């Protein structure tokens, strides 16, 4: 699967391929409640994901394409008794476990600021502190707005938390990852992002 996506990157001359962090269970659909059957031990899931990432890295490197992992978003419906047992690499310490398996700059982080806003709420960590700590590993940014409880992909506002963080990543590729907007709303969101990074 990853190899075919990297082939597409070659065709469209994209310099980077990004992929989502893994899970301890096979999800039926992202953004929905995950099944609770077939859950594997977390260490096994992490090891399997790292092995798969090495294969993707080797294939991408052969074409001169960089890769980055998008950190997961943890939402209420995927918590069990307030604990994240299903999604890998949503918090700083576990993300460092992943990165320590690779040489410096071999794999970057795709930081989705919308994910950070939601995950920090449900896992009870400081989103500003997290963003500052992870900053040096970030290769790519996704941005959208939400209510801090769900990953809603809403349009940006000038005073939303996600926009307030953009300037720290002004030299990184930034993808507007909003949904169901008109052309004018998209243009307005691009303007908001551009002003934020100046």
**CATH of region 2-197, choose from 3.20.20.150, 2.60.40.420, 1.20.1260.10, 3.10.310.30:** 3.20.20.150
pLDDT of residue 45: 98
Sheet holding 174-176, edge to edge: 16-20, 66-70, 107-112, 138-143, 174-176
pLDDT of residue 84: 98
Per domain, the residue ranges of the chain are 2-197
Q: Residues 150, 173: contact at Cβ < 8 Å?
A: no
Closest CA to 151 of 70, 32, 68, 69: 32
Tens of each residue's pLDDT in the chain, 198 residues = 689 999 999 999 999 999 999 999 999 998 899 999 999 999 999 999 999 999 999 999 999 999 999 999 999 999 999 999 999 999 999 999 999 999 999 999 999 999 999 999 999 999 999 999 999 999 999 999 999 999 999 999 999 999 999 999 999 999 999 999 999 999 999 999 999 999
pLDDT of residue 2: 86
User: For 180, left (φ over 0), alpha (ψ -120 to 50), or beta?
Assistant: left
Write down the pTM of the prediction. 0.95
């Amino acid at each position: 699967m990853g190899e075919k996506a990297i082939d597409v990157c070659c065709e469209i001359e994209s310099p980077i391929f990004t992929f989502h962090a893994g899970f301890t269970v096979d999800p039926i659909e992202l953004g929905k409640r995950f099944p609770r059957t077939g859950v594997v031990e977390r260490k096994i899931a992490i090891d399997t994901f790292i092995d798969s990432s090495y294969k993707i890295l080797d294939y991408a490197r052969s074409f001169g394409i960089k890769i980055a992992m998008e950190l997961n978003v943890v939402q209420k419906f995927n918590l069990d008794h307030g604990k994240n047992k299903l999604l890998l690499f949503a918090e700083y310490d576990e993300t460092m476990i992943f990165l320590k398996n690779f040489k410096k700059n071999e794999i970057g982080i795709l930081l989705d600021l919308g994910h950070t806003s939601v995950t920090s709420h449900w896992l009870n960590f400081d989103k500003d502190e997290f963003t500052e700590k992870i900053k040096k590993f970030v290769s790519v940014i996704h941005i959208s707005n939400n209510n801090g409880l769900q990953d809603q992909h809403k349009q940006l506002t000038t005073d939303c938390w996600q926009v307030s963080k953009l300037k720290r990543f002004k030299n990184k590729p930034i993808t507007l990852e909003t949904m169901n907007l008109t052309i004018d709303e998209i243009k307005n969101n691009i303007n908001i992002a551009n002003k934020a990074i100046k």
